[in-house]
């Protein structure tokens, strides 16, 4: 009995300790390893932090291409894009490419989130109601350098050889003065050669456009238009900034600037508002997309950086592939852009009345 009593006391003490684990000091909290992503934190795309996606859905709306060319793009581009983006740490198990029937249809797909990214004409995009984020836009560049500095945009100006049209600084000639002289223009679909002129006239002359001019002639290229101006056939005419750079000597001094035209873009790349994580500035999706598109459209394997290193990783693309990509994505290089860069395109879309196209 004497031996049993100490055992019973020990058992009672052990049982009385049950349920008191809250009195035990908690284990010290350990800091997460360096470089660990916090919940909700967006890190830029790098080799250490690749963007991994099950599928990337891209829709392209490119007017003027035949159905056979578009079907070739649907067959060929998914793997080309998947491989090119992987070199910039965008790892997608699959890339899906669809063709939009119109800018309105493509923007609707963006708004509904049935596509993640869309590439479409800038004015067509600007004419739609959307919260889609603009990441890139394309426009012509002078020179052949694959990474030439400068904005990828259409810039142009109106010139004249009629010095009599120039009034006081900031004073434009009357419409009757413009209407009595011969104009040189490009075709109806040319932004810098016709549509930008329409917007300039409409905003300075109570809604009038080139359709209201009495004496107009149409030329196929800016070079032909410049030759017509030098021959005296066109007294008023637009030129884009690239052609303007080719003027030399006496030829250039014969003409004076009448007005600066707005800045426009050819194509835009936008992200669905349903995929806000893809358009987060911290993620910096712009750079891998811009690099992949530039490489697919222009890199033949010979271009180099200023230090002599290859402009892009891997081999270049053959001419057939580059031409297909240019047909689909546009012939101009893409650069960073944002929503406000399309303000002029929105005014042009409203003027042309195709906000619902």
pLDDT of residue 176: 95
β-pair partners for 120 = 268
Dump pLDDT digits (tens) for 7-28. Answer: 444 444 444 444 444 444 445 5
33 or 319, which is more confident: 319
pLDDT over 80 at 246, yes or no: no
Q: How far apart are CA 35 and CA 77, in angstroms?
A: 35
At 119, phi and psi to the nearest 5?
-125, 120
CATH of 51-152+265-352, one of 3.40.710.10, 3.40.190.180, 3.30.1490.100, 3.40.50.2300: 3.40.190.180
Q: Among 213-217, 299-303, 353-357, which range has the highest average pLDDT?
A: 213-217
pLDDT over 80 at 40, yes or no: no
Collect all residues with Cβ–Cβ distance below 8 Å to 311 and sequence separation of at least 6. 146, 147, 295, 299, 303, 304, 305
Q: Give, as one character, the DSSP assignment of residue 164.
A: G
pLDDT of residue 58: 97
pLDDT of residue 146: 61
CATH topology of domain 156-260: D-Maltodextrin-Binding Protein; domain 2 (3.40.190)
Neighbours of 60 (CB within 10 A): 23
Dump pLDDT digits (tens) for 160-171. Answer: 999 888 877 668
Q: How far apart are CA 292 and CA 45, in angstroms?
A: 14
The C-alpha R_g of the chain, in whole angstroms, comes to 30
| Chain region(s) in the chain for CATH 3.40.190.10 | 156-260
| Chain region(s) in the chain for CATH 3.40.190.180 | 51-152+265-352
Q: How far apart are CA 236 and CA 308, in angstroms?
A: 45
CB 64 within 8 A of CB 124: no
Instruction: Tell me the three state secondary structure of residue 6.
Output: helix
201 or 138, which is more confident: 201
Quick check: pTM over 0.75?
yes
Dump pLDDT digits (tens) for 104-115. Answer: 999 999 999 999
């Amino acid at each position: 009995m004497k031996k049993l009593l100490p055992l019973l006391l020990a058992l009672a003490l052990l049982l009385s300790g049950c349920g008191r684990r809250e009195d035990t000091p908690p284990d010290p909290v350990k800091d997460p390893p360096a470089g660990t992503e916090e919940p909700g934190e967006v890190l830029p795309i790098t080799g250490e932090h690749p963007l991994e996606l099950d599928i990337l859905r891209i829709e392209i709306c490119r007017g003027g291409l035949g159905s056979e060319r578009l079907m070739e793009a649907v067959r060929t581009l998914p793997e080309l894009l998947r491989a090119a983006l992987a070199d910039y740490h965008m790892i997608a198990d699959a890339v899906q490419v669809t063709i939009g029937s119109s800018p309105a249809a493509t923007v609707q797909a963006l708004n509904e989130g049935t596509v993640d990214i869309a590439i479409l004409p800038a004015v067509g995009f600007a004419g739609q109601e959307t919260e889609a984020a603009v990441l890139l836009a394309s426009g012509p560049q002078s020179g052949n350098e694959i990474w030439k500095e400068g904005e990828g945009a259409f810039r142009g100006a109106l010139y004249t050889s009629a010095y009599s049209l120039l009034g006081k600084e900031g004073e434009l000639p009357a419409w009757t003065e413009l209407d009595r002289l011969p104009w040189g223009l490009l075709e109806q679909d040319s932004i810098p050669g016709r549509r930008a002129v329409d917007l300039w006239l409409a905003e300075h002359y109570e809604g009038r456009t080139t359709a209201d001019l009495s004496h107009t002639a149409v030329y196929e290229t800016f070079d032909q238009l410049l030759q017509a101006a030098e021959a005296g056939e066109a007294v008023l005419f637009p030129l884009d900034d690239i052609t303007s750079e080719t003027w030399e000597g006496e030829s250039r001094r014969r003409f004076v600037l009448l007005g600066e035209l707005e800045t426009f873009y050819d194509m835009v790349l936008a992200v669905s508002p349903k995929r806000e994580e893809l358009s987060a500035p911290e993620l910096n999706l712009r750079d891998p997309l811009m690099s992949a598109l530039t490489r697919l459209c222009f890199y033949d394997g010979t271009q180099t950086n200023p230090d002599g290193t290859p402009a892009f990783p891997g081999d270049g693309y053959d001419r057939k592939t580059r031409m297909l990509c240019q047909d689909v994505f546009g012939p101009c290089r893409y650069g960073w852009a944002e929503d406000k860069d399309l303000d002029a395109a929105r005014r042009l879309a409203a003027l042309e009345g195709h906000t619902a196209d």
